[in-house]
Amino acid sequence: MSQNYENGMVVSPQPEASEAGYEILRAGGNAVDAAIAMAFVQGVVDPMMCGIAGFGSMAVYEPESGRHEYIDFHSPAPGSATGDMWEDLIEGEARDGYGFILKGRVNDIGYKSICVPASLRAYATAHERHGSMPWKELLARAIRWAEDGWDVRPHVHYFWSQPAVMGRVANHERIAYTPAAKALYCREDGTPKQVGDRVVNPDLARTLSVIAEDGAEAFYTGEIGKKIVADMEANGGLVSAEDLAGYQAQINVPVVSGYRDYKVTTNQPPGGGLMLSLMLNILEHFDLAAMGHNSPEYVRVVAEAMKRATIDKDEGIGDPAFLDVPAERLLSKDYAAECAGRIKRGEKADVPRFDPAAPSKDTTHVSVVDGNGLCVSMTHSLGMPSGVVTEGLGFMYNGCMGVFDPRPNQPGSIAPGKARFSSVVPSIIFRDEEPYVVIGAPGATQIAMGVLQAVLNVLDFGCSMQEAVWRPRFSATSNAIDVTNRIPRFVTEELEGMGYEVIRNPQSFGIAWVHGIRITGEGLDGGADPGADGMTLKVPAG
């Protein structure tokens, strides 16, 4: 069946970003142009989620040429980092596996938590390889939002106001950590700005204007880079001029696997693609539709697949430049069948945690399809934001050091130039060799779990994309099963009767914020996760 791309569609967690992507497509730009413009706007209007000093992964598929690649931009540890630098500060590991708790929280907030900024370099790389509009045009809308200001949305306020969870620093501490951040995002009494409060960021507008004129080099080796390095040196940061100048995004082929009659393409390590592929390979051995969506047996089976993928992730998925990742075994159908057999026999996988201490979601996503069928799925993030905003620059840095394992000689241990594992898993699923689902999500360690369930909702349960991202979700990245509040109690009571610990989140939505586009012969069908403030926009004819 030939797919109908209509005139294109954009979807993201922020209305302002969706508007930017829509305007780019209407003006004749392609999907990559739209995704880059959206990413720049997201860095302005969701500044704790992403930005030019973040990291991520972008899938690009060109139907005419068949060119399919990932631009991976995982922030590496600075050159001065060492494997044992924090070994004597360990207090524990977060229950969900997303980072370690250290004395003084040096890995979680502040200058030492910052890895090498990667996002801006990746945006520029994507534009060089695939873009069609002038670079300057792609920053114009973000500059305007920074100059004119934007109103705090409900989801932004909710995120900024979150208390500390699992031993991590509370987000209200992050936005008040440096004077520059506090001036932007807090009221005069030091509390986070409320829904409807205005955020105006002239410093970021100036920074983006320099980048619009001089390109990404202004950030990595030019005047912005010099200010970054001076601030790092003055405050004990690890990032150096050499780190900035040497950073380049990686171009990778996708991880490819099959699920029933579909081809699943996703990202290479240290992204979460192998986890998603393994879980789908395991679940291929079950008639999920016959179980009933979110029935006790469905939740048990899918949760056990999640746990087994988490164990394999913890033991061996990381930066392939530093670790021999067992990709062949994890993609093996025989290994998946072995895992499925254990689940069918009722075996419970054990997910070990080092002295364990609610999931974090410091990430965002865009999905774009243009009228020519060019598909883009990009997830980008600050990790756990560092809280650091350099005076006069206006953007927050990533806090990627927080997810490294501070124990030496572990798969996730710190090493100079090494990128830590990230669950980001932007993916494109094909049906009959044509793109069918373009999908991804923010959600920290829960990203792959949220994307998995939305994919199952489409492929096994025949959902539209909006229904697929609306249905309630659960996750198992430890021995407990985390559920959102719309999972019925009669389901969780039966799971508890099976011996599972079930932890109920009071939120109606959660376990990642999934955003995607389904491409059919009838046209484009988008879904924006109702747990965020996002929006789907279809480009009209004419």
The alpha carbon of 191 is separated from its chain's Cα centroid by a whole number of angstroms, namely 27
Q: What angle do CA 448, 424, 83 make, to 5 degrees?
A: 110
Neighbours of 78 (CB within 10 A): 22
The Cβ-side half-sphere exposure at 105, using a 13 Å CA radius, reads: 18
Query: Which residue has 């973040």 as its token pair?
Result: 54
Distance of CA 103 to CAs 100, 107, 178, 363, 393, Å? 10, 9, 20, 25, 30
Contacts (Cβ under 8 Å, ≥6 apart) of 212:
135, 136, 139, 140, 143
**Burial group, residue 282, by CB count within 10 angstroms (0-12, 13-18, 19+):** buried
SS3 content of the chain, % helix, strand, coil (to 5): 35, 20, 45
**Burial group, residue 190, by CB count within 10 angstroms (0-12, 13-18, 19+):** exposed
Q: How far apart are CA 4 and CA 524, in angstroms?
A: 7
266 is catalytic: no
Which is it for the CA torsion 465, 279, 342, 499, positive or negative?
negative
Are 517 and 367 within 8 A, CB to CB? Answer: yes
Residue 71, token pair as written in the block: 């631009």
Residue 169, token pair as written in the block: 């620093």
Looking at 266, 363, 477, 484, which residue is catalytic?
363
Query: Which residue has 């209509």 as its token pair?
Result: 6
Q: Provide φ and ψ at 411, rounded to 5°.
A: -55, -35
Contacts (Cβ under 8 Å, ≥6 apart) of 83:
408, 409, 413, 414, 415
Q: How far apart are CA 136 and CA 133, in angstroms?
A: 8
Q: How far apart are CA 131 and CA 135, in angstroms?
A: 8
Distance of CA 542 to CAs 27, 28, 31, 535, Å? 11, 12, 18, 22
* Dihedral angle over CA of 49, 51, 54, 58, nearest 10: 90
Which is it for the CA torsion 321, 324, 330, 332, positive or negative?
positive
* Angle between the N-to-C axes of helices 202-214 and 31-45, in degrees from 0 to 180, rounded to the nearest 10: 150
Bridge partners, 61 (sequence order): 68, 375
| Cα separation of the two ends of the chain | 25
Active site residues: 363
